[in-house]
Amino acid sequence: MAKEITPRTEDYSAWYNDIVKKAHLAENSPVKGCMIIKPHGFAVWELMRDALDVMFKKTGHVNAYFPLLIPKSFLSKEAQHVDGFAKECAVVTHHRLMNDPNGGGVVVDPTAKLEEELIIRPTSETIIWDTYRNWIQSYRDLPLLINQWANVMRWEMRTRPFLRTTEFLWQEGHTAHATREEAVQETLQMLDVYAEFAEQYMAMPVIKGVKTPNERFAGAEDTYCIEALMQDGKALQAGTSHFLGQNFAKAFDVTFLSKENQREHVWATSWGVSTRLVGGLIMTHSDDEGLVLPPKLAPTQVVIVPIPTAQAEVNEVAEKIMRELKDKGITVKYDTDDTKRAGYKFAEYELRGMPVRIAIGKRDIENNVVEVARRDTREKSSISLDNIGDSIQQLLIDIQANLFNKAKQYLDEHITRADNFDDFVDILENKTGFISAHWDGTTETEEAIKEKTKATIRCIPLDNEKEDGVCILTGKPSSQRVLFAKAY
């Protein structure tokens, strides 16, 4: 096995594709823009999904499942939504194939044309709010706190594994509330859940903020987001939480009888994260040797490699270590494959991002130690076999913390203030990262800056201080800085 990973400094984009491929995370499929998520990549997503699902349920949400297909007419009901979502999507027009009368395999049966075309969901607000109309009559039916784990499809022109694919896996929360305040509170609560997940599980620090009107979700009154910074200095929108106001309730005529016996429109939120997070995870921690996984999202946290294999004493020590680790809830694999050399295995596990590798040699056993290699720093050390369970448990905690701290330091060092356009361009091109700058608040200026520099306003941070200043492009007055960056 040759590693042959393009170094990040040489070609960051090629490096990313190499990691995805050589760490066996995903590959392209015969369907344009759709990826195959391989077992190792899917195991990472399963850990993400399971952790998020617990957090959603703790905050009172339940799961349900709504249809994959949406009647075309539904998409036009919410005026903004149709512009944002009804365009690039997969359209089902027929429901039958037939044998080609000319013998050319199967062809679409022209007589099986649908009366109304169906769209593969790009997101499910429309069909869910059409359903909520029947589920909500009174304030007693509220709040309705529902989440769905599903596949969705958006016909993207340029795709990249995990980061932007035509089909992707995600969760979409859709909640209904009696008051504006409660809906806003839910929107912010779920943003906090996302930020906590990103930082505590993915070890990926994020900035919580609100999008400008131009970057809002189609149909939302406010879109909140968590933004992370990748190692190439580009931002990644990692999750969004939308306050939808009464827009969908009005479009789908969803009303309730309030405590005061008044008929009112329902208030809505929606929020989602997707397999894009796997892309963010890769780009936050990985290095030129391969994938780096934080222990909390590693399908296997520890691998034990015997040197050489098939020695009774080595097996005995390995079994003892495995028992101690499993008792602590640590996932561990003992690699007894004798068709591969230890060196090959070391490289392969590095490539796959296994957080800790334990090598057991015969001389080690005589000295009552094993060699432990941590993936994050690639440091090796001798660790005593006494209380090895505790040592490894602590090491995993250290690795998780170290990955977060390293990424946090990188993020903190890459939020730079710019007070004029020349500095802005210079920082963007040479230092990269987020740029905190004044902006006059108009979509026109936002678009003009994007056109000149490819940088977009990633968000207005939630903890932003008010500060008088002037727009870096137009010189018009501004009351606060916003965060710009080039983004995925």
Count the neighbouring beta carbons within 10 Å of the beta carbon of residue 65: 10
The H-or-E segment that residue 416 falls in is strand 415-417
The residues near 213 (Cβ < 8 Å, ≥ 6 apart) are 443
- Nearest approach in angstroms of CB 285 to its own copies is 23
How many of the other CB atoms lie within 10 Å of CB of 216?
A: 18
Alpha-carbon distance 404 to 199, whole Å? 7
Q: How far is CA 89 from CA 81, 164, 272, 331, 351, in A?
A: 13, 14, 19, 41, 36
The DSSP-derived string for 306-369 is: EESSS-HHHHHHHHHHHHHHHHTT--EEE---TTS-HHHHHHHHHHTT-SEEEEEEHHHHHTTE
Question: For residue 127, which of 70, 85, 169 has the smallest C-alpha distance?
Answer: 70
Binding site for its own copies (CB under 8 A): 27, 29-31, 34-39, 42-43, 45-46, 62-76, 82, 86-98, 105-106, 108, 117-120, 127, 130-131, 134, 140, 146, 150-151, 153, 155, 167, 169, 339
Q: How far is the CB of 75 from its own copies (least distance, A)?
A: 6
Place of tokens 């207005």: 460
Q: Which is nearer to its own copies, 192 or 335 (CB)?
A: 335
Structure tokens at 389: 């369970």
How far apart, in whole angstroms, are the C-alpha atoms of residue 271 and residue 273? 7
Of 129 and 271, the one with the shorter C-beta distance to its own copies is 129
Distance in Å, CB of 195 to its own copies, minimum: 26
Nearer to its own copies, 127 or 428 (CB): 127
Q: How far is the CB of 322 from its own copies (least distance, A)?
A: 17
CB of 62 to its own copies, least distance (A): 4
Between 73 and 382, CB nearer to its own copies? 73
Which residue's CB is nearer to its own copies, number 231 or number 247? Answer: 247
SS3 120: strand
Strand 369-374, strand 380-384: pairing: antiparallel
Pick the closer one to its own copies by CB: 97 or 448. Answer: 97
Q: How far is the CB of 169 from its own copies (least distance, A)?
A: 7
Q: How far is the CB of 347 from its own copies (least distance, A)?
A: 17
Which of 141, 232 has the CB closer to its own copies?
Answer: 141
H or E segment to which residue 228 belongs? strand 222-229
Distance of closest approach, residue 342 Cβ to its own copies, in angstroms = 17
**CB nearer to its own copies: pick between 124 and 286:** 124
